[in-house]
Structure 1
Amino acid sequence: MEFTQLLVRKHKRWQQTIAWVAVSLVIISGIYLMVGELFINPFETLSSLEQQLIHQLRLPRLLSAVAIGASLAVSGAVLQVLLGNVLAEPGVLGISGGASVMMVLLLFFLPAYATPIGFMVSAVFGAMVFTLLLVVMTRALRLTTTRLLLVGVALGILSGAVVTWAFYFSDDLSLRILTYWLMGSIGGASWYQHVLTLVMIPVIIWLCCQGALLDKMMMGETHAKQLGIDVESVRWKLILGISILVGGAVALGGVISFVGLVVPHLLRLALGSENRYLLPISALSGAVLVVFADLIARTALDAAELPLGVVTTTIGAPIFIWMLVKNHDAH
């Protein structure tokens, strides 16, 4: 009886958290649309300029922030289960690196196609190529999950080397574009970029529905197989979904760090590891974090705009250090 009551209380706490985070996202989104160089009062009749400002600039940028935050946080939550490592995040498998490398190659070798749409296609393609490379290597060499993680780290290092070479050989204009993009920014968000968001949203929803499956996989690959789960098939479906989300996020906003690492890890420490609740809460919390970070990025300075990636790193790094210290003390 006590166990049943404890279970009910736990589920109620998860549900309350989902509700609170959803309300927080609505509130921060409303503030986001109001605040800027020109403050917009929602209780007054909007002028033509204010309507255009919301529709053409702030709303597509807000949707980009929500899509990026949800994608990175869900991807991080799934990877932490998939790899059995609480420090796993989209960059660990080299997927972010793959997207980055392909965008850099496009910028240098096909500059005529270095448009927002061109960058989106190349980022998703780069993420897919690195994912396919991981799949082929794992099947051919029969890599364990731990070795898969190491291969991902190696691919990330390789992609970093390619980007460093790009810095070395770039001219001034390309260097400025590359630097600004690597810092992470959604300042150029527009409606036609959200063709990619239409692809990302179903993948986010699908991953959020895999919680029960991931709960079984957390018990270990052997137990999961005994429960009738085709671990290999599930693993590659999940990695494919993650590659689409991370490629899309990199295409929309460049390299934005710590969201996929800090959000799900912090939620696990605070609430537990039930993935059927953790995944949707991670998606909502990631969206809240990136919207809040971009609000700071575009309003902190009067004459300039801070890079979004720098803001998320500034917020995320101290939190992550605190989590590591707390986790260490607990043991």
Structure 2
Amino acid sequence: MYLSQLLDHQHSRWKRYALIFLFILACVSAIHLMVGDIFVSPFSDLSSIQKQLVWELRLPRLLAAMVIGSTLAVSGGVLQVLLGNVLAEPGVLGVSGGASVVMVLLLFLVPAWATPMGFMLAAIIGALLFTMFLVGVATMMKLTTTRLLLVGFTLGILTGAIVTWAFYFSDDLSMRQLMYWLMGGIGGTSWYHQLLTLFLVPVVVWLCIKGQTLDKLMMGELHAKQLGVDVDSLRWKLILAVSVLVGGAVAFGGVIGFVGLIVPHMVRLILGAENRYLLPVSAIMGAILVVFADIIARTALDSAELPLGVVTTSIGAPIFIWMLVKHHGSR
């Protein structure tokens, strides 16, 4: 009886917070559509220019921000389960950097394939390779939190060096434009690009549905197998799903760091560590964070637009430092 009441309380608490965050997302989304060089008031009749501005520019950009934010937050939460480390995150561990490296190599070596679909496939392949490497190393060598973070940081530095060398030896203007884009940004997102990001949504939904299975995996491989979980099959499915999400996010938004780190951690502080609750709420909060960051990126300066990745990093880096200090005793 007590356990049943506790579960009912936890479920109602989760629904309450989910509704609160959905309301916040709706408010932030409305602000995103209104603000900019031309203010669009929802309380007056819109001119043809304002309608065109909202429909062709701001609405696709808003949806892209929501999808990318949800994608990064959920992939970060799943990586933390896969690696058994609450400090795991695609950007911090070099997975996003791996996706960007393969994209740059595609443009540098096979420019004829440098299409939106080509970039997406290249980013997914890069994210898949780096995720497989990290999971394999963490599993076989049983790395501590500190060592795993060092491996991730080293991978990030290596990918950054490769990208820098590629740009340094290129005179192609598109390469320089891509370098700016890899700092993170969704400017110029069209409905065509948005349609390509929609395939990320089913993956996010599938991972959220698998939250209860992830809870079993967190108990350890032995306990998970005793509860009927095919651990090996599940692990490969999760690796592929995370790679698709990270690759898709990088292909359309560049390297946007720290979303996958701070969002699941903040939700964990509010709702606990149960992934069946954590992942859906993380998807909503990730969307809120990236939409809010994009508002800052678009409106902070009058003369130019800030890279979205710079804004999310400015928000996430202090929180990450605090988390490192808090976990300094981990071995």
Q: TM-score, normalised by structure 2?
A: 0.89
Tell me which residue corresponds to 2:109. 109
Amino acid at match of 1:319: I
2:210 alignment counterpart: 210
Partner Cα distance (1:181, 1:104) in 2? 11
Which residue does 2:95 correspond to in 1?
95
Q: List alignment gaps of at least 5 residues for structure 2.
A: none
Q: Is the 8 A contact 1:75 1:246 kept in 2?
A: yes
1:320 matched to 2:294? The reply is: no
Aligned to 2:177: 177
1:39-188 maps to which residues of 2 (within 5 A)?
39-91=39-91, 94-131=94-131, 143=140, 146=143, 153=152, 155-171=155-171, 173-174=173-174, 176-188=176-188
Q: Decide whether the 8 Å contact of 1:64 with 1:189 is kept in 2.
A: yes
For the residue of structure 2 that corresponds to 1:176, the secondary structure is helix
CA contact (8 A) 1:128 1:240 kept: yes
Query: Using the alignment, how far apart are the partners of 1:37 and 1:200 within structure 2?
Result: 30
Distance 1:91 1:315, change over 3 A: closer
Cα deviation for residue 317 of structure 1 reads 1.3
CA–CA distance in structure 2, aligned partners of residues 73 and 210 of structure 1: 15
Give the 3-state SS of the residue equivalent to 1:80 in structure 2.
helix
Q: Which amino acid aligns with 2:309?
A: G
- 8 Å contact from structure 2 (residues 258, 316) kept in 1: yes
Letter in 2 for 1:53: L
Which amino acid in the other structure matches residue 12 of structure 1? S
The question of whether the paired residues in 2 share the 8 Å contact of 1:266 and 1:323 is answered with: no
Aligned-residue CA RMSD (Å): 2.7
Q: How far did residue 200 of structure 1 move?
A: 0.3
- 1:26 is matched with 26
* 1:172 Cα offset (Å): 6.8
CA–CA separation in structure 2 for the residues paired with 1:88 and 1:246: 13
- Show the counterpart of 1:303: 303
Question: Aligned equivalents of 1:150 and 1:50: distance in 2?
Answer: 47
Could you tell me which amino acid in structure 2 is paired with residue 293 of structure 1?
Answer: A
TM-aligned CA deviation for residue 55 of structure 1? 1.1
Tell me: CA distance 1:145–1:52, structure 2 relative to 1, closer, same or farther (3 Å).
Answer: farther
Between the aligned partners of 1:205 and 1:249, the Cα distance in structure 2 is: 15
Q: Deviations for 1:100-132, whole angstroms, at most 9, x for unmatched residues?
A: 011111222233443444423332333345456
What's the CA shift for 1:240?
0.3
Offset, 1:277: 0.7
**Cα displacement (A) at 1:286:** 0.3
Name 1:228's counterpart in structure 2. Answer: 228
Q: Matched residues in 1 for 2:326 and 2:64: separation?
A: 33
What is the letter of the counterpart of residue 45 of structure 1?
A: D
Contact 1:92 1:152 in 2 (8 A): no
**2:75–2:245 contact (8 Å) kept in structure 1:** yes
The code of the aligned residue for 1:164 comes to: T
Shift of 1:307: 0.5
In the alignment, what sits opposite 1:282?
282
Report if the CA contact (8 A) 1:127-1:247 is conserved. yes
Gaps in structure 1 of 5+ consecutive residues: none
Q: How many residues align?
A: 326
Task: Write the distance in 2 (CA, Å) between the matches of 1:83 and 1:13.
Answer: 28
The answer on whether the counterparts of 2:128 and 2:239 sit within 8 Å (CA) in structure 1 is no
Change in Cα spacing, 1:132 to 1:77, as seen in structure 2 (3 Å) is closer
What amino acid is aligned across from residue 252 of structure 1 in structure 2?
F
Amino acid at match of 2:253: G
Q: What CA distance in whole angstroms lies between the structure 1 residues aligned with 2:142 and 2:326? A: 27
**Percent pairwise identity:** 66
Q: Distance in 2 between matches of 1:224 and 1:151?
A: 29
Measure the CA separation in 1 of the matches of 2:92 and 2:122.
20
Moved more, 32-41 or 172-181: 172-181
Conserved in 2, the CA contact under 8 Å of 1:183 and 1:309? Answer: yes
| TM-score normalised by structure 1 residue count | 0.89
Identify the residue that residue 257 of structure 2 maps to in structure 1.
Answer: 257
**Measured at CA, do residues 204 and 152 of structure 1 come closer, stay the same or move farther in structure 2, by a change above 3 Å?**
farther
Contact 1:69 1:288 in 2 (8 A): yes
Counterpart code for 1:97: G
